[in-house]
Structure 1
Amino acid sequence: MAIILICRLLTSVLVSDWADAYEYFSIGNQLELAGKYEEAIMYYEKTKELAPFSREIYLSLAGAFYQTRNYRKGIAVMNEALERFDPDLELYNTLAIGYIGQTEYDKAIKVYEKALAQDSSNVLIYSSLSILYEAVREPKKAQDILLIMPDSLLTTEIYTRLAAIGGRMNKPDEAITYYHRAYELDSTNVVAITGIATAFDIMQNPDSAVCYYELALQDDSFLQSAGRRLVELYAELDKYDRLIAIAVKLLDRDYYDAHMRRNLAFAYYKIGYNKKALSEFHVTSRLDPQDTYSRFYAARIYLEDGLHDAALKEINQAIKIDPSFIELWVYRAFIAIDKKDYILASQSLDQAAYYGGDMVQIYYLMGATAEMKEKYYDAYRFYSKGLALNPKNLPNLEAMANLYARLDREQEAAKIFSRIIEIDTTNASALNYVGYQYAEQAENLDLALELINRAMDLDPHNGFFIDSRGWVYYQMGEYEKARDDLLEAIEIEYDAVILEHLGDVYIKMNDLKKALQNYQEALELYPKSKKIKKKIQRLGQ
């Protein structure tokens, strides 16, 4: 290339100056290639004195000035060249580079606009203008300049650039449109594919985002970027088998990626592979000693396996690392309650409250702890505090209702269960309880049957629900239906109340032998029942 430039140069120099011009330009060229720009400039300037009408020397001299960050002198050289020679893209482009070097983007834009007026078929001009418009924060112009390009110049690269600008303008729909056009031109263009995926991701359309991220994985180089985001999306969509497959590939490349290993462990946990999950959580804890999340889930696995001491050890280690992690205190309370260590449970809940935990949840757990200690007034007080903060909180409402039921205060319990049904029409326990109380009082039996049937629709194999319906049939006088339901219920739940109900049904059906048999079995299960004893005594008389 240097030889061609020299030949052009020599044709414009007087014959007597050929030797000097050739020598100076050649030396300047070699110095520039060696990175000695200041010295190159000196020889280029001597060549320019001998060959002022050679455009190539202006280009070389300006380029050397740019290399030394002396953009002002380089720009001056190119403006002189544009006055001396017919303007063309190479001259305009070299001048614009100088202005860009000085961050005078507006001046560079004007130069390229002149170049575009001269040549409207050059992709470089459109692309350069688009980049510069974005640099001066005019993204609409950056798009518009590309959109006026002739169709023959619109390539996948242009469409992906249009899409990227749309994305930066917070127009994901527009971005998808342009990425799709790029994809239509080249279905293997991974930039377009990941662009579509990212746009769907921004639009919170995870299913479509996953589809295109998966397509992007046809190019293995995108495993890190697309693969990592896929792992997060798979977790959101509960697609744990796919998450595991990608996470294993990523860990093959980087064994020490603690974040990815934790994701893998969580996926194993969610699909019930607790041993694998526990192993990965332990590896993650070693890779990242400050990782409280992995210790938290290791504790959950240990608790599910009944290993309370191991669970407590993991939680205590995590608390040492980050005592402000509220869920650790709450979960330590769960472990303590399961161990019947109510003092530790109370201490843990106090700490959760101290660090700003959800007091509605904390009052519920405090109430449950008090109830297990048979301190029913304290339990009532805690549940009431939780409901004062949130009157519609279902855990506190259900706990309060069950507390009333435990204390044989059925009317208060029924009122709260009725409130629960208003809030949650699919609460099977509440539906059954209210229906059963109507049956006990022999009131609103049609409504009672409707409520209990709704409960059974939600949980058709619940023996206590079936017993409730049998008891409604008993109160309605439909003894055969009652008997059939109660026989089914006792197969599921061998319970004293169900046996007593069945005995009552057999009395109505004049089968005293079976009635006595069921009362006696009921008394064996609940020997303190005076009511069952009286029924047996009546049959004996």
Structure 2
Amino acid sequence: MMTALLRTALTGFLLASIPATSALAYDPAGSVSGSYLAGRSAAKLRDNDLASDYLTNALKTDTGNPILTEKVFLLELSEGDMPKAEEFAAEVLKFNSQQRMARIVLGLKDFKGRHYEEARRNFAQSAYTPVGELTSWLLTAWSYAGEGELNPALKALDRLDSNESFANFKTFHEALIADYLGNSIRAEASFKKAYEAAGTSLRIVQAYGNFLERHNRAAEAQSLYRAYLEADQNPLIEAALAASLKGEKPQPFIASPGEGASEALFSLATSMNDDQSIDVALLYTQLGISLGADQDIMYTLLGDTFEDMKRYDKALAAYQKVPASSPLRVNADMEEAVALQQLGRKDEALAKLKSIVAADPKNYDAIVTLGNLYRANSDFANAATTYDQAIALLEKPGPGNWRIFYYDGISHERLKQWDQAEKLFRKALELAPNEASVLNYLGYSMIEKKINLQEALDMVKKAVELKPNDGYITDSLGWAYFQLGDYEQAVIHCEKAVELLPADPIIAEHLGDAYWRTGRTLEAKFQWQHAKDNKPEPEDLKRIEDKLKNGLPPAEPPVTPVQNTAPKTNG
């Protein structure tokens, strides 16, 4: 979405540690402490339904406990229960008048009731961190828009000038508010500025195109849509272009102050997409949904957020709420299939994707997703066939298509079709020369096959430079040195790989092999035992057990790292 990404997470959130001054009382029967600890454990696992049940039960016994009250408030908000969240927000403010999310919740309650002045008072008291300032001034600006006041709204947005990372948020919402209030000159200037700064943003392209179409400039809007679609085949932009070509004039992108506030929350939530801020993104998404605007895109975002949190049951429920009439419905169906796969309902997942592909055999994304499910299920024959089908749809593959060649290469390699796999990997590298995963996979495969070793070593070295903290890639480099007979270098890189991924059996086995070749036999056996204890695949287990019993056979002469002109194949 926006190019200026805000990573600041709210403090004092539901996973915060228990203060030493907690008012929780010791209860021999465990009714308070037991429920609290169970709820806290559930919260850590992001099972917010269960956490809310436990903590609410604890709160019934320990009425008025400020720690419990605040945690239950945040859990109810994360579950989207706005009436309960509003009730608990009021309770939270009795003992913590500056609790940020409570102020935002009650401010939005006032906003929805058109009590804009009261809303602004709540928003102002939440503006004491960067994310609080950004949230407060965006929502404050929309509250003035609700009163029909352009200049005060723009002055509120000017408060964002204090932080340069807020620039794109400011410009975009400046355009939306000016458009909503009928100042087309100011709106167009701001839309242009926003587009120049972040022309790859879906919402900027949607809103600017919408503005152009409503001002009888459909050709310009269509040009905007086509430029976007060259890089990303998004169903919302495709639908906008199709409607424009039919001469259909769209409704305003923002038709009410509530829709504007929802868009602000959407903008914020989509910028919080790392693991440290994903919990806050969930809260903002639920708040956006509560305003009732753009339900299809908001529920899609909610599903994506739950997926990122690995709450696949919740993701599935969110995607199911995307309306059947929405351009995002097919996308939601695909994401439902992914969630079903993660929930272990593999047959349902495959059936859903097959039905999507049957209905539209040219749906590239659905075909790729179907291939991914086959590959996740180790059905490499069907995966390869499906990926081949997707590749056939590409008239001119671009840099964004490298993954399909990579995934297809993996599938053919696992089928022992090396010649085809190598061609696919090299095509992926042609499209994305600096993609570490491809460099590593191709390099490692050639190392295992003892072919093209100098090229393979160079590939893996480059992959390590690109991702120095990736244990698998670091292990590949160590294993390359092992195959070349440079066992001291092999030990150095394999040791680092084990530090990065201590529970991986194959990486531990490789370090054991390197230790053995350098005469460190006791350490080698320790690593092989460690590999065995970490549940390797059956064929790997047999090999590791043999090493534990017999060690390694005498080393063969190392392969000279020169480029072979006629690579061997393994089938």
Q: TM-score, structure 2 length as denominator?
A: 0.48
Aligned pairs (5 A) from 1:26-45: none
Aligned-partner Cα distance in 2 for 1:340–1:293: 26
> Would the aligned equivalents of 2:268 and 2:281 in 1 still touch at CA under 8 Å?
yes
Q: Is the 8 A contact 1:474 1:505 kept in 2?
A: yes
Q: Are 1:338 and 2:342 matched, yes or no? A: yes
| AA in 1 matched with 2:261 | R
Structure 2: stretches of 5+ with no match in the other structure: 1-149, 155-166, 205-253, 273-279, 554-571
Determine if contact 1:520/1:536 at 8 Å carries over to the other structure: yes
8 A Cα contact 1:414 1:434, kept in partner: yes
Separation in structure 1 between the aligned mates of residue 409 and residue 301 of structure 2, nearest angstrom: 32
Change (3 A) 1:432 1:306: closer
* Map of 2:262 onto structure 1: 262
Letter paired with 1:400? D
Residue in 1 that maps onto 2:287: 280
For 1:359, the equivalent position in structure 2 comes to 363
The residue type paired with residue 338 of structure 2 is F
Paired with 2:171 and 2:256, the residues of 1 have a C-alpha distance of 28
Cα distance per residue 1:149-196 (max 9 Å; x no partner)? xxxxxxxxxxxxxxxxxxxxxxxxxxxxxxxxxxxxxxxxx99xx9xx
Match of 2:269, SS state, is helix
Q: Residue 59 of structure 2 corresponds to which residue in structure 1?
A: none
Work out the CA distance in 1 between the residues paired with 2:172 and 2:498.
Answer: 54
Residue 391 (structure 2) aligns with: 387
- In structure 2, relative to structure 1, the CA distance for the partners of 1:437 and 1:213 (3 Å cut) is closer
Q: Give the Cα separation in 1 of the matches to 2:471 and 2:545.
A: 24
For 2:305 and 2:190, locate their aligned partners in 1 and report how far apart those are by CA, in whole Å. 26
Q: Give the whole-Å Cα distance in 1 for the aligned partners of 2:255 and 2:168.
A: 30
- Report the equivalent of 1:534: 546
Q: Following the alignment from structure 2 to structure 1, what is the Cα–Cα distance between the partners of residues 173 and 549?
A: 76
Between stretches 291-300 and 225-234, larger displacement belongs to 225-234
Q: Which residue identity lines up with residue 469 of structure 2 in the other structure?
A: H
The answer as to whether partners of 1:370 and 1:376 remain within 8 angstroms in 2 is: yes
1:235, 1:267 within 8 Å by CA — same for their partners in 2?
no
Following superposition, the deviation at residue 485 of structure 1 comes to 0.8
Q: Write the letter of the residue equivalent to 1:483.
A: V
In structure 1, C-alpha distance between the alignment counterparts of 2:325 and 2:476, rounded to whole Å: 51
Aligned-residue offset at 1:399: 2.0
The alpha carbon displacement at 1:490 in A equals 0.5
Q: Is the 8 A contact 1:414 1:437 kept in 2?
A: no
In structure 2, the residue matched to 1:376 is 380
Please say if 1:493 is aligned against 2:497.
no
1:479 maps onto 2:491 in alignment: no
1:229 deviates by 7.0
2:470 corresponds to which residue?
462
The DSSP-based 3-state class of the residue aligned with 1:296 is helix
CA distance in 1, matches of 2:374, 2:440: 26
* Alignment map for 1:422-461 (pairs within 5 Å): 422-461=430-469
Shift of 1:513: 2.0
Q: Secondary structure at the match of 1:390?
A: coil
Contact 1:421 1:427 in 2 (8 A): yes
* Change in 2 beyond 3 A, CA 1:237/1:376: same
Letter in 2 for 1:326: V
| Deviation for aligned residue 1:292 | 1.8
Partner of 2:515: 506
Are the structure 2 counterparts of residues 231 and 418 from structure 1 closer, same or farther at C-alpha, using a change threshold of 3 Å?
A: same
State how 1:267-346 maps to structure 2 within 5 Å: 267-272=267-272, 273-285=280-292, 288=293, 291-322=295-326, 325-346=329-350
Query: 1:516 corresponds to which residue?
Result: 525
Cα distance change, pair 506–353 in 1 and its aligned pair in 2 (3 A): closer
Distance in 2 of aligned mates of 1:280 and 1:360: 33
Asked whether the 8 Å contact 1:324–1:355 carries over to 2, the reply is: no
Q: Report the alpha carbon displacement of residue 483 of structure 1 after superposing the two structures with TM.
A: 0.8
Cα deviation, residue 321, structure 1: 4.3
Task: Report if the CA contact (8 A) 1:496-1:523 is conserved.
Answer: yes
**Gap change, CA 1:371 and 1:451, over 3 Å in 2:** closer
Alpha-carbon separation, structure 1, partners of 2:327 and 2:450: 55
Q: Taking CA–CA contacts closer than 8 Å with sequence separation of 6 or more, which of the two structures ends up with the larger relative contact order?
A: 2
Q: For 1:96-245, what aligned pairs fall within 5 Å after superposition?
A: 226=186, 230=190, 234=194, 237=197
Q: Give the direction of change, closer, same or farther, for the CA distance of 1:310–1:498 in structure 2 (3 Å limit).
A: closer
Structure-2 residue corresponding to 1:47: none
2:334 & 2:537 partners in 1: Cα distance? 39
For residues 546 and 389 of structure 2, the distance between their equivalents in structure 1, rounded to whole angstroms, comes to 42
Aligned partner of 1:360: which letter? Y
Contact persistence 1:315–1:332 (CA under 8 A): yes
The one-letter code sitting in structure 1 at the alignment partner of 2:297 is Y
Gapped regions of structure 1 (runs ≥ 5)? 1-189, 195-206, 244-253
Larger Rg: 1
For residues 265 and 283 of structure 2, the distance between their equivalents in structure 1, rounded to whole angstroms, comes to 7
Change (3 A) 1:266 1:481: same
- Partners of 2:260 and 2:529 lie apart in 1 by 61
Task: State percent identity of aligned pairs.
Answer: 20
**Displacement of 1:425:** 0.5
SS in structure 2 of the partner of residue 319 of structure 1: coil
Show the counterpart of 1:247.
none
After TM superposition, give the deviation of residue 461 of structure 1 in Å: 0.8
TM-score by length of 1: 0.51
Report the 3-state secondary structure (helix = DSSP H, G, I; strand = E; otherwise coil) of the residue aligned with 2:474: helix
After superposition, the Cα gap between the structure-2 partners of 1:432 and 1:370, relative to the gap in structure 1 and judged at 3 Å, is closer
Deviation at 1:343, TM superposition (A): 3.8
Contact 1:319 1:328 (8 Å CA) reproduced: no
Deviations 1:254-274 (A, max 9, x none): 994343133212212123231
Partner of 2:97: none
> Partner amino acid for 2:471?
G
Asked if 1 retains the 8 angstrom alpha-carbon contact of 2:307 and 2:339, the reply is: yes
CA distance in 1 between counterparts of 2:428 and 2:329 reads 31
Give per-residue Cα distances to partners, 1:73-107, cap 9 Å, x unaligned. xxxxxxxxxxxxxxxxxxxxxxxxxxxxxxxxxxx
Deviates more, 1:433-442 or 1:477-486: 433-442
SS at match of 2:405: helix
1:493-519: CA deviation from partner (whole Å, max 9, x where unpaired): 122222222222222222222222222
Looking at secondary structure, tell me which structure has more helix per residue. Answer: 1
* Counterpart residue type for residue 490 of structure 1: V
Q: Are the counterparts in 1 of residues 262 and 291 from structure 2 also a CA contact under 8 Å?
A: yes
Q: 1:314 to 1:439 in 2, by over 3 A?
A: closer
**Counterparts of 2:410 and 2:469 in 1: how far apart (Å)?**
21
Shift of residue 410 of structure 1? 5.2
1:431-458 CA-to-partner distances (Å, cap 9, x unmatched) read: 1122222322333332222111211122
Q: Alpha-carbon deviation of 1:295?
A: 2.2
Q: Could you tell me which amino acid in structure 2 is paired with residue 426 of structure 1?
A: N
For 1:32-111, what aligned pairs fall within 5 Å after superposition?
Answer: none
